[in-house]
Structure 1
């Protein structure tokens, strides 16, 4: 017995700006004759995230499936850990059906309570965990610190900013629209917002953080990040989570210079890039901390949900076009 699965693969080498032409929809037959320990899952929600762009360029060849985490329902099971109809977090990519043999790619969906299940891909999923570890383990904010977060209206940035706010910090968010600036200040409670498209970032930092920035959580790179680095206080800490503004550049010929090195040395800054997978063994602790913030009303999220498997590439490209608030997710089925 077999069934048909759809998947999105890389249609051509990922160079420059990503477009719909970089992706191709394919179908394949999956055997439903499971072996002991295996499960067959169907996608319910699929996550799209900025890291997929450099990952595709660095690690995928033409014809390779795009990778992603999804919330899936178990259709068939020969594994007692994952019974039929249970929901799982599956790191299986942009596909509708998956026969899973490697159980390292599956995790039990955490207890969500009254929180929508889709948030297990957002503020209570890898997105939230990334924000949590970058902020608490690298930035290490203390009450009274001044914290700046770039892409503060995005999925990771909005969570990181709220964690800092819950710690008792003054938090300044940098965004790309007035709508995002309004959301992070009026809805999320940040102290100030800077629109990097219309404001002079350096001047705004001098106005809102006259004594310098103690902690910097960066998702963007580029000129905005450089402005923050140069305005940091002595002994400041910076967590470099992403560089979405540079993902279309040639990695061997970056457009940004090395001018921030002078500030890093002069101000004795700690600047660290990181990957959330480094803390895999303690994810349950971070989830509990994030869930507690939700229950306390200190962590809120927003989702932009696309409908249909055919919309996955379009949803992915939206990440690089701006305009979205919070986390982008694709709903495949109820």
Structure 2
């Protein structure tokens, strides 16, 4: 039985002006012969992850799905780390299989002393081929830690330990070549409909981060150009009082999701009651984003708009 490997570029494959292929990456990886599975490699278009699109990610997820349906034990995707958390969450929303779909990459390229790519890739392949990792959806494996896609964040611009799950911690580890899953989060419903790339291309969802002394000028005319909005509010979901009616008017015209800009924790529902508080905003029609960070909330809202599914019910799973 094989493990499918899909390479999308990123730091893990940057060897100066040369971009490493999947064959190059696996050839440079000690311990691969002990994996016990053949690695079936598909090199996808090499690009910085800043240039990735949701359509491209869904294309790769579809290829991985076909590989698993044809008998692969699991699949691994390598890409740049800049948008890896968003790619993994998008994949998790649509991945239908019990077999693992694992995302990994590197923070130190192969030309530097101590590149982390080989170790990350080997650990990812071990997780993808492990029965212990079944029924967990999409995962991120980095620095021998296993993270659930819906919780993981990139938390540091340069550290090799950049990927963390602030609300939960990792769900497992790879120790002495063993995949050890310590806790098994239940899988959510995901998005049941199928979004074609052309449909996604027409869906624009804005992300607005609230800041000190915010006048809301950038929100004007937003409903004329976008189909949805995610608000990254202060703390547990607050905005300046002057913004509350503006957001309420937008929520009457399109879905507006309330999240926290803090990076951990959830918005609340009924703790504060002043204008601009979470209670006020939810009464004005904003949707509770729960524990989702703003970036993942935007991924989910965009996919829901493209598939015409129940937005409130979908976000209700994360509250």
Provide TM-score, normalisation by structure 1: 0.25
Structure with the largest fraction of strand: 1
Which structure ranks higher in relative contact order (CA pairs < 8 Å, sequence separation ≥ 6)? 1
Provide TM-score, normalisation by structure 2: 0.26
